[in-house]
């Protein structure tokens, strides 16, 4: 509270500046407002690859396709000089575009109907198979599929990953292969692990091959599908003379994993182990200009950029204003001569993605207007074609002169989003009552007038409130831009970032590791309650400044965000409505499937003496304290989600559990929704939910109008509310 008063003045200044910002001044005249479809149709660009001569580039933009019932990738060829673009074709999936060294062609993993396979794409845009594994394996949350990350759209995989040798003569690739599925009797831990199964599954392994100049492939190794490196980072290898270096995950590690860096000699076929690692910070192998491995290290806003050389010696490039290895950044590329490295970066404060050029002597940053999120580079690291975007600018292609850092526009990626008048957005760093900082953004209502206070909705999801135009991982099914169009202030607030203080980092590390110290109460306080206090203090600050009406504040978050939402409603009376997306972690019912993640938070199983900790902290066991109506939108219908629903229902807290189905009974909607019709319904449901509980408006566009009567009933029967009910 103190803090809100202390900073009240500067907030008022900020607000005044916002009212005068060019975006708002220009907004109402130069563009149109956001629509639901605009949110749905923001493209996401994966890899970009330049042609050998640097005149052309290829990229894929993934866009929701209502007719296909899933996202579709459009593969585009762009002429860098003119900015002219041509759609080559659509694919279910398009990723890992690379230039084929020594040729004018590209390669890419495409699913164009036969599962994910490796194709060659020439400069004229014709596409031909390169490596095809016809015995594909189904992956994702679907019947008879290999369970992979909950966000993976169900699909079939033939080729999993690949990488060309620098001379283009050798091809490293991995195939996903079904394991013979003749039913077998299983024992003990293997059975125990099946007890959380929600669908039939299949088993598979990852086979790694090296194809030589003669076109002949030899098998390098077979890895189990439990090796996350093999499954998700099989292309992350280094060519080092005759050796190929890569990481494997060792079995039996903790949540953070245990890994080996290995080298395989293509002449002798011998494998050796170079290093053992654990609790990796990135999937990438970050090779530095001195031949070592790069990392940013140390707490605070200015970590040290370090290169650890083989054998242990460390070289420091000094303190920098960013971290590296973030999968949302533009990656890493080493120049042909090995002397230069370009790294994708993520900055502190207003979290933006940029580039850093590195050589033996030092580091130089390249920052665009907003973020540079995806890039293709030439081999000499003179030129990059990147995606530039920001909270207010839709993704567009730019040319980056890597030597001087100059950036020139090339072409829009999504014309429809260029038509939209940008909303007014302010990056913020909030400091909560404990001194912990959380970054984020204030998005002003379209019709913002200085001096007027507005209802507000906080959207939270860990760390991805950052300077990108749209991130589904951050805003999920919360139609942030429409909230603002409709008159809400939207606060995108990240968790206090772990690296800012030793105590915080230690808590996160204990959580990932699966054991303390610190103990359960410290973890609960630092990892969850700390975030709730950031929200409260941010709201109080903005309320004191007159922007936010503290009696009409809602809270939404999915996944990691839903944990904080669920804790918030039991620990705070500030929020008049909450939407919790496909979560459930922290509920006792989740212990069975995630014991390792629960142990550091609670000390052990809920059926042991540790029940005391659960009673203290688990949202469902604190349902009697909840005065906030809670909507759970879910894809998994997990026991934890049911447990929270039932606990809230039995305390007569207004609550709804909405399950969004897969495209058929044989598959599920994914954690990050991928079915366009579900995304549209879920966004409309959130709009209706917040309008109802915060504003007392019965939304005419409510997607399930018959639920309104249920909400009326629940509102009437609720034993207590967090404050005066909205006026209807």
C-beta of 600 vs 662, nearer to a second copy: 662
Residue whose token pair is 């975006």: 23
> 665 burial class (0-12, 13-18, 19+ CB within 10 angstroms)?
exposed
Checking DSSP bridges between strand 577-581 and strand 548-558, what pairing results, if any? parallel
Nearer to a second copy, 95 or 649 (CB): 649
Which residue among 67, 128, 190, 724 contacts a second copy (CB under 8 A)?
A: 190
Show the binding pattern over residues 623-662: x = contacts a second copy (CB under 8 A), - = does not: -----------x--xxx-xxx-xx--x------xxxxxxx
How distant, in Å, are the alpha carbons of 121, 318, 345, 441 from that of 364?
A: 34, 11, 11, 27
> Minimum CB separation from a second copy for residue 637, in Å?
4
For residue 201, state whether it binds a second copy (rule: CB under 8 A). Answer: yes
From candidates 5, 607, 696, 725, binder to a second copy by CB under 8 A: 607
Question: Would you call 467 helix, strand, or coil by DSSP?
Answer: coil
**Using rule CB under 8 A, residue 29 touches a second copy:** no
Binding to a second copy in span 135-174, by CB under 8 A: 143-144
Indicate whether 188 belongs to the interface with a second copy (CB under 8 A). Answer: yes
| Single residue of 588, 590, 600, 654 touching a second copy by CB under 8 A | 588
Segment contacting a second copy (CB under 8 A): 161-169, 185-193, 300-308, 416-424?
A: 185-193
Least distance to a second copy, CB of residue 481, Å? 23
* Number of residues near a second copy (by CB under 8 A): 55
The answer to whether residue 592 forms part of the interface with a second copy (CB under 8 A) is yes
> What whole-number distance in Å separates Cα of residue 273 and Cα of residue 59?
36
The window from 72-80, 410-418, 495-503, 605-613 that contacts a second copy (CB under 8 A) reads 605-613
Q: What is the DSSP letter of 589?
A: G
Q: Tell which residue, 371, 397, 600, 595, has the closest CA to residue 471.
A: 371
Looking only at the bridges linking them, the beta strands covering 243-250 and 238-240 are antiparallel
- The nearest distance, CB 594 to a second copy, in angstroms, is 13
Q: Strands 93-99 and 155-157, how do they pair?
A: unpaired
**Residue 523: CB minimum distance to a second copy, A:** 20
- Is 191 one of the binding residues for a second copy (CB under 8 A)? yes
Q: Which is nearer to a second copy, 26 or 191 (CB)?
A: 191
- Please list, in sequence order, all residues whose beta carbon lies within 8 angstroms of the beta carbon of residue 336, skipping any fewer than 6 positions away: 166, 379, 380
Does the protein bind a second copy through residue 215 (CB under 8 A)? no
Given the rule CB under 8 A, which of 17-25, 181-189, 440-448, 514-522 is the region that contacts a second copy? Answer: 181-189
Give the DSSP H/E element, type plus range, for residue 230: helix 228-232
Q: Structure tokens of 430?
A: 């909030």
Minimum Å gap between C-beta 681 and a second copy is 6
Query: Closest separation between CB of residue 624 and a second copy, Å?
Result: 12
d(CA 508, CA 419): 42
| Tokens encoding 260 | 């080996």
Structure tokens belonging to residue 693? 């509980």
663 part of the interface to a second copy, by CB under 8 A: yes
Alpha-carbon gap, residue 137 to 391, rounded angstroms: 38
The beta strands (E) that lie in 424-481 are given as: 425-431, 437-443, 454-460
Q: Are 703 and 688 in contact (CB under 8 A)?
A: yes
CA–CA separation, 721 vs 724, rounded Å?
7
| Structure token digits, residue 452 | 């007027």
Of 143 and 279, the one with the shorter C-beta distance to a second copy is: 143
Q: Based on CB atoms, which residue is closest to a second copy, 159 or 621?
A: 621
The candidate with the shortest Cα–Cα distance to 386, out of 87, 42, 59, is: 59
Give me the least distance between CB of 232 and a second copy, in Å please.
24
* Cβ nearer to a second copy, comparing 256 with 604: 604
Residue 527 or 647 having the CB closest to a second copy: 647
Q: Which is nearer to a second copy, 69 or 168 (CB)?
A: 69
SS (HEC) of 322-333: EEECCCCCCCEE
What are 617's two structure tokens? 């902290």
Burial of residue 609 (CB within 10 Å: 0-12, 13-18, 19+) is exposed
**Contact pattern from residue 429 through residue 448 relative to a second copy, giving x for each residue in contact according to CB under 8 A and a dash for the rest:** --------------------
Q: Which is nearer to a second copy, 504 or 589 (CB)?
A: 589
User: How far is 523 from 585, CA to CA, in rounded Å?
Assistant: 14
- Site for a second copy contains 196 (CB under 8 A): yes
| Binding flag, residue 183, a second copy (CB under 8 A) | yes
Q: How far is CA 456 from CA 437, 440, 550, in A?
A: 20, 14, 8
How far is residue 95's CA from residue 117's CA, in Å, rounded to a whole number?
Answer: 10
Instruction: Note whether 179 binds a second copy by CB under 8 A.
Output: no
Site for a second copy contains 585 (CB under 8 A): no
The number of beta carbons lying within 10 Å of the beta carbon of residue 612 is 12
Nearest distance from C-beta of residue 66 to a second copy, angstroms: 15
* CB of 157 vs a second copy, minimal distance in Å: 18
Tell me if residue 584 falls in helix, strand or coil. Answer: coil
- The stretch near a second copy (CB under 8 A) out of 29-37, 460-468, 534-542, 663-671 is 663-671
Told to check if 198 binds a second copy by CB under 8 A, we report: yes
Buried b (16+ CB within 10 A) or exposed e, 465-479: bbbbbbbbbbbbbbb
Minimum separation from the CB atom of position 658 to a second copy (A): 6
Per CB under 8 A, which of residues 333..392 are in contact with a second copy?
Answer: none
Site for a second copy in 670-689 (CB under 8 A): 678, 681
Q: Which of 306/589 has CB closer to a second copy?
A: 589
- Phi and psi at 123, nearest 5°, equal -60, -25
Reduced to 3 states (helix: H, G, I; strand: E, B; else coil), residue 453 is coil
Using CB under 8 A as the binding rule, whether residue 666 contacts a second copy is answered as yes
What's the min distance (Å) between Cβ of 713 and a second copy?
Answer: 12
- Evaluate whether 500 touches 436 at the Cβ level (below 8 Å): yes
For a second copy, the closer CB: 188 or 214: 188
Q: Which residues bind a second copy (CB under 8 A)?
A: 143-144, 181, 183-188, 190-192, 194-202, 588-589, 592, 606-607, 611, 614, 620-621, 634, 637-639, 641-643, 645-646, 649, 656-666, 678, 681, 704, 707
């Amino acid at each position: 509270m103190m803090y809100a008063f202390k900073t009240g003045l500067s907030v008022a200044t900020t607000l005044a500046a916002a009212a005068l910002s060019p975006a708002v001044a220009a907004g109402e005249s130069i563009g149109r407002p956001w629509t639901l479809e605009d949110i749905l149709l923001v493209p996401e660009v994966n890899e970009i690859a330049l042609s050998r001569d640097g005149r052309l580039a290829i990229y894929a933009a993934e866009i929701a396709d209502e007719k296909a019932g899933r996202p579709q990738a459009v593969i585009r060829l762009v002429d860098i000089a003119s900015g002219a673009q041509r759609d080559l074709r659509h694919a279910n999936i398009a990723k890992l575009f690379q230039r084929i060294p020594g040729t004018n062609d590209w390669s890419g993993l495409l699913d164009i109907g036969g599962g994910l396979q490796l194709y060659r794409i020439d400069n004229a845009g014709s596409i031909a198979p390169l490596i095809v594994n016809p015995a594909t394996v189904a992956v994702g949350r679907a019947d008879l599929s290999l369970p992979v990350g909950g966000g993976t759209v169900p699909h079939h995989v033939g080729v999993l990953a690949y990488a060309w040798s620098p001379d283009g003569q050798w091809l490293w690739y991995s195939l996903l292969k079904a394991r013979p599925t003749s039913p077998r009797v299983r024992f003990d831990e293997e059975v125990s692990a099946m007890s959380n199964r929600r669908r039939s599954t299949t088993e598979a392994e990852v086979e790694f091959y090296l194809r030589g100049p003669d076109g002949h492939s030899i098998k390098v190794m077979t890895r189990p599908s439990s090796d996350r490196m093999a499954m998700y980072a099989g292309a992350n290898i280094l060519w080092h003379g005759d050796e190929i270096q890569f990481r494997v995950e060792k079995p039996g590690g903790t949540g953070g994993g245990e890994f080996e860096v290995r080298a395989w000699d293509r002449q002798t076929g011998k494998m050796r182990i170079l290093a053992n690692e654990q609790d990796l910070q990135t999937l990438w192998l970050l090779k530095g200009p001195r031949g070592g491995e790069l990392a940013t290290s140390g707490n605070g806003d200015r970590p040290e950029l370090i290169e650890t050389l083989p054998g242990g010696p460390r070289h420091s490039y000094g303190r920098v204003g960013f971290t590296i290895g973030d999968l949302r950044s533009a990656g890493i590329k080493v120049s042909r001569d090995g002397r230069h490295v370009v790294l994708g970066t993520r900055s502190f404060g207003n979290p933006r993605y940029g580039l850093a050029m590195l050589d033996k002597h030092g580091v130089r940053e390249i920052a665009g207007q907003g973020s540079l999120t995806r890039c293709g580079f030439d081999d000499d690291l003179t030129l990059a074609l990147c995606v530039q975007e920001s909270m207010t600018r839709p993704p567009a292609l730019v040319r980056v002169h890597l030597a001087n850092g100059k950036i020139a526009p090339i072409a829009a990626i999504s014309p429809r989003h260029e038509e939209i008048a940008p909303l007014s957005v302010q990056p913020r760093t909030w400091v909560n009552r404990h001194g912990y900082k959380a970054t984020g953004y204030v998005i002003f209502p379209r019709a913002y007038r200085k001096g007027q206070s507005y209802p507000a909705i906080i959207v939270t999801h860990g760390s991805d409130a950052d300077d990108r135009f749209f991130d589904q991982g951050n805003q999920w099914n919360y139609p942030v831009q429409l909230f603002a169009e409709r008159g809400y202030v939207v606060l995108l607030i990240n968790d206090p970032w772990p690296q800012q203080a030793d105590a915080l980092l230690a808590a996160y590390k204990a959580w990932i590791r699966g054991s303390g110290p610190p103990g359960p109460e410290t973890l609960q306080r630092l990892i969850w309650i700390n975030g709730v206090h950031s929200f409260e203090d941010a709201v109080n600050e903005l309320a004191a400044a007159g922007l936010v009406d503290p009696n009409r504040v809602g809270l939404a978050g999915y996944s990691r965000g839903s944990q904080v939402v669920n804790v918030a409603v039991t620990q705070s009376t500030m929020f008049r409505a909450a939407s919790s997306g496909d979560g459930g972690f922290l509920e006792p019912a989740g212990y069975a499937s995630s014991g390792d993640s629960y142990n550091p938070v609670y000390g052990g199983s809920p059926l042991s003496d540790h029940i005391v900790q659960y009673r203290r902290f688990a949202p469902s066991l604190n349902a009697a304290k909840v005065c906030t109506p809670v909507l759970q939108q879910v894809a998994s219908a997990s026991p934890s989600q049911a447990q929270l629903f039932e606990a809230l229902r039995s305390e007569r807290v207004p609550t709804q559990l909405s399950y969004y189905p897969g495209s058929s009974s044989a598959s599920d909607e994914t954690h990050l929704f991928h079915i366009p019709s579900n995304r549209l319904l879920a966004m409309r449901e959130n709009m209706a939910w917040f309008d109802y509980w915060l504003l007392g408006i019965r939304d005419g566009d409510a997607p399930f109008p018959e639920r309104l009567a249920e909400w009326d009933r629940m509102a009437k029967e609720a034993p207590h509310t967090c404050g005066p009910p909205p006026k209807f």
